[in-house]
Chain A
Amino acid sequence: MRVVVDFDLCESNAVCMGIAPEVFEVRDDDFLYVLQEEPDEALRPKVEEAASRCPKQAITIEG
């Protein structure tokens, strides 16, 4: 599984960070950082939840 964020769409709402803090982190500079681009399969449900709840639909999962 590979996590891809469309940074043209991302508005740093940080909703994803609330759901999967292991993968997504919005820092004090207000930018989103993807901490693991290829997270462990065990994180899939959380990452899928984060993708579906992104207000900008900026997160996609490949594979």
Chain B
Amino acid sequence: MHTLERIVIVGASLAGLRAAETLRSEGFEGVITLVGDEPHAPYDRPPLSKQVLRGEWDGDRVALPAGRNEALDLTWELGVVATGLDLERRTVVLADGRALPFDGLVIATGAAPRHIPGTEHLAGVFALRTIDDATAVRGALDAGASRVVVVGAGFIGAEVAASCRERGVDVTMVEPLPAPLARVLGLEVGEVIADLHREHGVDLRLETGVESITEGSDGAALRVQLTDERVVGADLVVVGIGVSPNTGWLHGSGLMIEDGVLCDDTTMAAPGVVACGDVARWPNPLFGEVMRVEHWEHALDMGAHAARRLLAGDGPGEPFAPVPFFWSDQYDRKIQLAGRVRPTDQVEVVAGSLDGRRFCALYGRDGRVVGALTMNMPARVIRYRRQIAEGLGWDRALAAAAEAAAPKGP
């Protein structure tokens, strides 16, 4: 094991920054260099589709405080793209030709939104991932865009649709699945979310894809041809059809790349190399599943864990076994999920009701609770999160929930 004197972190967003913070809080005194492909200081992404798009927050309000904390003594390489990794020489190759030497490397390059082929050149078609994306979409709304087509009713699409409706803009949301988020949450809960959007005036086109987007001719800037042969005019199209991990720069490096950087259960990808956040895939021992997780809190947790793993050096390292957790705010509803669910899981509403849009649903598989989803019941999801980590059984959970719901006697 070499002495760790220089640590390079590629990726200057939430996971990379938390790794840097953790290295310092664990006592690392060497040089930490953060390489980020965006020119901006690290910022927080969740407000982009909400407060920023609604026009409530300016772009500079999303800066992450740790990114401005000079006590962390970080060396910044912002607006710089990493193009290669040489594990033999232990250097990160940059687009400007420089090679940054490292003793320890943290890979936190995140993920990039997928695009609809053939739309890259079109003005008015955006993804929503970066602060520049959010500023551009907001700019188009501020400039009077009044018809928006949202492609994909996943979390980003649904939040964009909600923010646009709250601005009074006409929204058509197109989704190939029979309900929003059906692939993640199943049909029953997906339909609750579908109704939520319809009630707020979204023209929701389910089981429908986009055939093509072209420049419009009838007054609208864009012409969106749907797979059901209908055509929708739009001033603005926001595409939220998922992301791909940013691993292009690692090809040929010798690291295992399989829809992300493949790590061991401690977040290590190679000796002296760890990965974290959206870009990392690892076997989560708690679920017996190799997973890649794109949530906000996951970036924090895995960034901290990866930093500690790097400092542990040749030691065995602790397995990383979190219960994934996310939230999504749409209109006045807060959707939160703890766990790892599949559409084929058993689903049972244990508190509140789907109709009332305030509920807690448990997801079960093989006799265990694997997830808890809540709408406007935040305390419950947090309690279940802890219990899922402890291996909460399905029958026990249902019995306890029934008992808690029963009227207190006599």
Q: Which of chain B's residues have a CB closer than 8 A to the CB of A5?
A: none
Q: Are A55 and B379 closer than 8 Å at their CB atoms?
A: no
Q: Which of chain B's residues have a CB closer than 8 A to the CB of A12?
A: 334, 378
What separation, in Å, do the CA atoms of A26 and B327 have in the docked complex?
Answer: 15
A27-B297 contact, Cβ under 8 Å, with A18-B385, A18-B386: no
A17-B376 contact, Cβ under 8 Å, with A53-B300, A55-B46: no
Q: Are B300 and A14 closer than 8 Å at their CB atoms?
A: no
Contact with B along A21-63 (1 / 0, CB 8 A): 0000111101000000000000000000000010101000000
Q: Which of chain A's residues have a CB closer than 8 A to the CB of B46?
A: 55
Residue B128 CB within 8 A of the other chain? no
Please name the residue on chain B nearest to A19 by beta carbon: B382
Q: Are B297 and A14 closer than 8 Å at their CB atoms?
A: no
Q: Are A15 and B329 closer than 8 Å at their CB atoms?
A: no
Q: Are B297 and A30 closer than 8 Å at their CB atoms?
A: no
What separation, in Å, do the CA atoms of A25 and B327 have in the docked complex?
Answer: 18
What separation, in Å, do the CA atoms of A59 and B377 have in the docked complex?
Answer: 20
Q: Are B382 and A26 closer than 8 Å at their CB atoms?
A: yes
Shortest CB-to-CB span from A33 to chain B, Å, is 10
Q: Which of chain B's residues have a CB closer than 8 A to the CB of A13?
A: 327, 334, 336, 378
**Total chain A interface residues with beta-carbon distance under 8 A:** 15
A55-B376 contact, Cβ under 8 Å, with A13-B334, A15-B382: no
Which of A12, A13, A28 lies at the interface centre, i.e. has the most chain B CB atoms within 10 A of its CB? A13
Residue A11 CB within 8 A of the other chain? yes
Q: Are A14 and B329 closer than 8 Å at their CB atoms?
A: no
Q: Are A26 and B296 closer than 8 Å at their CB atoms?
A: no
Q: Are A17 and B379 closer than 8 Å at their CB atoms?
A: yes
Shortest CB-to-CB span from B308 to chain A, Å, is 14
Q: Which of chain B's residues have a CB closer than 8 A to the CB of A11?
A: 329, 334
Q: Are A14 and B65 closer than 8 Å at their CB atoms?
A: no
What separation, in Å, do the CA atoms of A30 and B65 have in the docked complex?
Answer: 27
Q: Are A14 and B296 closer than 8 Å at their CB atoms?
A: no
What separation, in Å, do the CA atoms of A30 and B34 have in the docked complex?
Answer: 39
Q: Which of chain A's residues have a CB closer than 8 A to the CB of B325?
A: 15
What separation, in Å, do the CA atoms of A15 and B336 have in the docked complex?
Answer: 11
Q: Are A55 and B296 closer than 8 Å at their CB atoms?
A: yes
Q: Are B376 and A14 closer than 8 Å at their CB atoms?
A: no
What separation, in Å, do the CA atoms of A49 and B143 have in the docked complex?
Answer: 41
Residue B107 CB within 8 A of the other chain? no
What separation, in Å, do the CA atoms of A11 and B382 have in the docked complex?
Answer: 14
Shortest CB-to-CB span from A24 to chain B, Å, is 10
Contact with A along B373-410 (1 / 0, CB 8 A): 00011110110011000000000000000000000000
What separation, in Å, do the CA atoms of A7 and B65 have in the docked complex?
Answer: 19
- Residues facing A in B91-146 (CB within 8 A) are none
- Residues facing A in B270-325 (CB within 8 A) are 296-297, 300, 325
Contacting residue for B376 out of A27, A30, A53, CB 8 A: A30
Q: Are B297 and A15 closer than 8 Å at their CB atoms?
A: yes
Q: Are B379 and A27 closer than 8 Å at their CB atoms?
A: yes
What separation, in Å, do the CA atoms of A27 and B383 have in the docked complex?
Answer: 12
Q: Are A17 and B334 closer than 8 Å at their CB atoms?
A: no
What separation, in Å, do the CA atoms of A27 and B334 have in the docked complex?
Answer: 15
Shortest CB-to-CB span from A41 to chain B, Å, is 18
Q: Which of chain A's residues have a CB closer than 8 A to the CB of B329?
A: 11
Which of B300, B376, B377, B379 lies at the interface centre, i.e. has the most chain A CB atoms within 10 A of its CB? B379
Please name the residue on chain B nearest to A53 by beta carbon: B300
Q: Which of chain B's residues have a CB closer than 8 A to the CB of A26?
A: 378-379, 382
Q: Are B382 and A17 closer than 8 Å at their CB atoms?
A: yes
Q: Are A28 and B379 closer than 8 Å at their CB atoms?
A: yes
Q: Would you list 22 pairs from A and B whose C-beta atoms are within 8 A, ordered by A residue?
A: A11-B329, A13-B327, A13-B334, A13-B336, A14-B336, A14-B381, A14-B382, A15-B297, A15-B325, A15-B382, A17-B379, A17-B382, A26-B379, A26-B382, A28-B379, A30-B377, A30-B379, A53-B297, A55-B46, A55-B297, A55-B327, A57-B65
Known A13-B336, A13-B378, A55-B296; 9 more pairs at CB < 8 Å = A13-B334, A14-B336, A14-B378, A14-B379, A14-B382, A15-B325, A18-B386, A30-B379, A53-B297
6 cross-chain pairs, A with B, having the tightest CB-CB distances, nearest first: A14-B378, A26-B379, A18-B382, A14-B382, A12-B378, A26-B378
